[in-house]
Amino acid sequence: MTRIRRFVAITAIAASVCCSGCTVIPASGPYTVDEAGAGDPLSKPFQRMIAIEPQPSWSPEQTIRGMQAAMAAYPDDPETLLKYLTPKARAKWNASGPVAVIEDQYEVVPDASRDGTETVQKVSIKGRWVAAIQEDDSYLPTVGGMDRVYDLVKNPKGGYLIDALPNELVLTASDVARAYRPTNLYYPSRNTQDRLVVDRLRLRLKPTERFAQTVLERLLEPPTGALQGAVLSSFPPGTKIESVTSGEERVVINLSGPLDLLDLSAEDALRAQIRFTLNKNDIAKGRIIEIQVDGEPYTVDRPNSDENWLSNGGESAYYISKGALHSLGKDGPMGAVPGAAGEPREGYEDFALSKESNASIAARTATGISVAGLTQEGRWQEVIPGTDLTPPTWHRDGSLWTYDRANAVLLRYDPAGGRGAERVAAPKLVGLDVTKLRIARDGVRVVVATGKNTVQIGALTGEGAGMMLGNFQALTTTEESDEVVDVAWEDDEHVLVLVKSSKAVQILNQINVGDGETVGVPLKDRLESLAALEDRILAESTTDKGTKILELNQDRQNWTPKVETNAGAPLFPLG
């Protein structure tokens, strides 16, 4: 935006504030100024907050609101906020802690419940927490009431100053929506290095820097705590982003640092990290991506390049009828699979399907978990004994996992290992009532349901004998009287959680595992289990005539019957 256009914008905003009759903050501020970027493919348009310093005529309540506005502007204007503080507070305060996010509608009130003096006035900000943006840029939703008390003293020049301030920035949800953007970064998995894992965070827009540069510079840093130890980087330490430029058909990224120009595998992973990070954030927009090192050509990534870095392990749908596995096409049933897996059988439940390239089916029985290949010669064979195991789940590397509730241990069975099930460390699960455990198709993230109403997200860290399940973060906790019926991975970012409430009403939520964003899915029929893959969601429904398979329509509002009778336990490979 040009200097003249910015002046016009400020004048217009000031006029609108004045006309609105706002008395909390005078017409002189704060302002939001539209920043350039709408026509730049490497940038994101946004509004920058311009705060004003405390005014001699302001009350204590107005001063607190002005301070909060100055917090929203602080990253771009650190000086104005400091003018709200006494010298003592200024010497102690810093913005090193997490960013506290509160609802837009908050109160600023004198705090009569706490003792003040003639020289100190206590004022509270009261509202509700929304989230915290951690120092690693992760966005963690929070709940509950917020009550911050501030001590204000008279300013010799008139008005008030704040005498103590916690080491944090308090922003409203609108402040965050204006200045931050949800961003997906991609890192290679540590345990299967042919697959990328998405890391979702919030990045602050910078007026002096293209968003593409902001994103790529963050990609050079370690992932958020949720993926620490679970992913790698194709960028060697010391790599820098020297410049990011674009034309109509090409984005040029110039790197510097100790890159090995002869390591083709590293080149492929680096290109994939950059490609998916830019494309999934709608930055490159179908352009050719040229990567340089010290200004010299290094590699080129073209639109519609190989997508195997985000492979899901197969796309076919299946279901169970009378204990036999059947294929499910887009238009309906396609018959039973060959071999023992396609034969009717009693006493088998909680089925799981491996990658399609060498597909096997696993099921839980009264004595353990059994496996059968989807071939004419395939036969059922018990591979993990146990009488109190969670439903099985496959890893993309071909191993089969379950949690032994009786012995409180996580078990992994590798068909290629020639040994029985081996223990995998999961210290944070000890003492918890683990009811469900499902590994994501990326081979890293794991969703775990504990008790009746809690769902957590963890990650498989390390590799080989050093692999463990950790990095747990809460995903959702329902009311104590509710019960989690089923969980299923929809894609790399989203988990579906089916809950039965105390009123016998079911709720189906799609939850983003990176930032907790939740979207409800309408329900009409009673559901028993779920399976999902990208834009397809299947469910088993119980009726007076038995069970049937439903599929959620593309409008995400209605369900269509796919198999009307004797059909349940829908399945997709992995997830």
Q: What is the pLDDT of residue 19?
A: 32
Alpha carbons 279 and 284: distance in angstroms, whole number: 5
Whether residue 8 is contained in a domain is answered as no
Output the domain CATH number for residue 121.
3.10.450
Whether residues 319 and 331 fall in one domain: yes
Whether residue 2 is contained in a domain is answered as no
Q: What is the pLDDT of residue 266?
A: 83
Closest listed residue to residue 161, CA positions, set 90, 235, 76, 222: 90
Alpha carbons 377 and 341: distance in angstroms, whole number: 10
Which of 179, 204, 227 is the last residue before a domain boundary?
A: 179
Whether residues 342 and 454 fall in one domain: yes
Whether residue 25 is contained in a domain is answered as no
Whether residue 9 is contained in a domain is answered as no
Whether residues 502 and 384 fall in one domain: yes
Q: What is the pLDDT of residue 270?
A: 94
Whether residues 188 and 277 fall in one domain: yes
Q: What is the pLDDT of residue 39?
A: 62
Contact by Cβ (8 Å): 165, 93: yes
In which domain, by residue range, is 447 found? 311-571
Contact by Cβ (8 Å): 154, 119: yes
Alpha carbons 325 and 380: distance in angstroms, whole number: 13
Alpha carbons 459 and 59: distance in angstroms, whole number: 50
Q: What is the pLDDT of residue 418?
A: 78
Whether residues 340 and 408 fall in one domain: yes
Whether residue 305 is contained in a domain is answered as yes
Whether residue 297 is contained in a domain is answered as yes
Whether residues 108 and 204 fall in one domain: no
CA distances from 88 to 24, 93, 270, 384 (A): 27, 9, 48, 65
Alpha carbons 226 and 219: distance in angstroms, whole number: 15
Which of 152, 179, 206 is the last residue before a domain boundary?
A: 179
Contact by Cβ (8 Å): 232, 187: yes
- The gap between the terminal CA atoms of the chain, to the nearest Å, is 47
Label residue 15 left, alpha or beta by phi (over 0 means left) and psi (-120 to 50 means alpha).
Answer: alpha
Cis peptide before 30 (omega within 30 of 0): yes
The side-by-side arrangement of strands in the sheet containing 240-246 is: 240-246, 250-256, 288-293, 296-301
Whether residues 305 and 328 fall in one domain: no
**What residues does 450 pair with on adjacent strands?**
434, 454
Contacts of 393 (CB under 8 A, 6+ apart): 352, 400, 401, 402, 437, 438, 439
Whether residues 478 and 348 fall in one domain: yes
Whether residue 36 is contained in a domain is answered as no
Whether residues 174 and 208 fall in one domain: no
Whether residues 120 and 265 fall in one domain: no
Averaged in consecutive runs of 10 residues, what is the pLDDT profile of the chain (575 residues)? 30 31 36 57 77 94 96 94 96 92 94 64 94 96 91 93 93 95 96 92 92 96 97 95 91 93 82 94 90 93 82 95 95 94 96 94 98 96 97 97 97 90 96 97 97 95 91 88 94 96 88 94 94 96 88 95 93 95
Closest listed residue to residue 293, CA positions, set 353, 231, 249, 238: 238
Whether residues 72 and 142 fall in one domain: yes
pTM, whole model, 2 decimals? 0.90
Whether residue 460 is contained in a domain is answered as yes
3-state secondary structure of 161: strand
For residue 516 the two structure tokens come to 């907790």
Output the domain CATH number for residue 460.
2.120.10.30
Contact by Cβ (8 Å): 25, 69: yes
Would strands 250-256 and 288-293 be described as parallel, antiparallel, or unpaired?
parallel
Whether residues 169 and 220 fall in one domain: no
Contact by Cβ (8 Å): 125, 148: yes
Q: What is the pLDDT of residue 4?
A: 29
Q: What are φ and ψ of residue 430, in 5° steps?
A: -60, 130
Number of domains in the chain: 3
Which of 309, 330, 364 is the last residue before a domain boundary?
A: 309
